[in-house]
Amino acid sequence: DAGVTQSPTHLIKTRGQHVTLRCSPISGHKSVSWYQQVLGQGPQFIFQYYEKEERGRGNFPDRFSARQFPNYSSELNVNALLLGDSALYLCASSWGTVLSTDTQYFGPGTRLTVL
Amino acid sequence: AQKITQTQPGMFVQEKEAVTLDCTYDTSDPSYGLFWYKQPSSGEMIFLIYQGSYDQQNATEGRYSLNFQKARKSANLVISASQLGDSAMYFCAMAANQAGTALIFGKGTTLSVSS
């Protein structure tokens, strides 16, 4: 079975631009979560979607938005890019059951560089 | 507030030896799950092992075991018979139901295995 897929793998943008990152979950999984990982740190939670509804949101500005489609794939959008948005963006999929028992499986990530 | 602490920035071990990676957590939620992930230099986050707060026995998955001490709020990962391929960054993470968010990660521990 295919794992979580993300596109693109790498991306270079300039300050002020907009970016869209895409994620396809494992077949059967209904929940997708997004994380930002800056160099040398652990991932930080951005969004979680379940059945196309936002289930949770981390401490990120409104420049960050996301959505989940009927096929459970997801997009993360970031507007007005700042240098500090340079990071590895990780997508994770899970069944979407009880949070404390719901193992999340990660994709390979999208490495975003903002110049 | 939920928090994960990993106090070992780096650990060094020889092949075939066992190694323990430390993790302490803080939560007031009685229902939570603890997860360990491995992140090689490629960036993908690989799920290793899960421990639920109500589990009576320590979790084991092949060469990985979790030393869960609930009263001390610790969830240390033990890797037996280390292999060169175990060299990577290791993250401890927690999901708590009442927090209403997805995973909270520690800062990680870099493990280096030498021959």
Amino acid letter, A33: S
Q: How far is B56 from chain A (nearest CA, A)?
A: 15
Which residue carries 């899960």 as its tokens?
Answer: B50
Residue B97 is predicted with a pLDDT of 76
Lowest mean pLDDT among A68-72, A96-100, A106-110, B75-79: A96-100
Cα distances (Å, whole numbers) of residue A22 to A12, A77, A90, A108, B96: 15, 9, 10, 12, 27
Q: Could B103 and A33 be called an inter-chain contact, meaning their C-beta atoms sit closer than 8 Å?
A: yes
Q: Could B93 and A58 be called an inter-chain contact, meaning their C-beta atoms sit closer than 8 Å?
A: no
Helix, strand, or coil here: A45?
Answer: strand
CA A69 to chain centre: 14
pLDDT digits over B8-21, tens only?
999 999 999 999 99
For residues B86 and B73, give the distance between their C-alpha atoms in angstroms, rounded to a whole number: 26
Residue A97 is predicted with a pLDDT of 77
With contacts defined as CB-CB under 8 Å, which chain B residues touch A57? Answer: 101
What's the token pair of residue A10? 């790498």
pLDDT digits over B18-57, tens only?
999 999 999 999 999 999 999 999 899 999 999 999 999 9
- In the predicted structure, residue B100 carries a pLDDT above the cut 70: no
For residues A107 and A91, give the distance between their C-alpha atoms in angstroms, rounded to a whole number: 6
What's the token pair of residue A26? 């494992």
With contacts defined as CB-CB under 8 Å, which chain A residues touch B4? Answer: 42
pLDDT digits over B84-94, tens only?
999 999 999 99
- In the predicted structure, residue A88 carries a pLDDT above the cut 80: yes
The shortest CB-CB distance from A100 to any of B32, B43, B105 is to B32
Per-residue confidence band for B99, with pLDDT thresholds at 50, 70 and 90: low
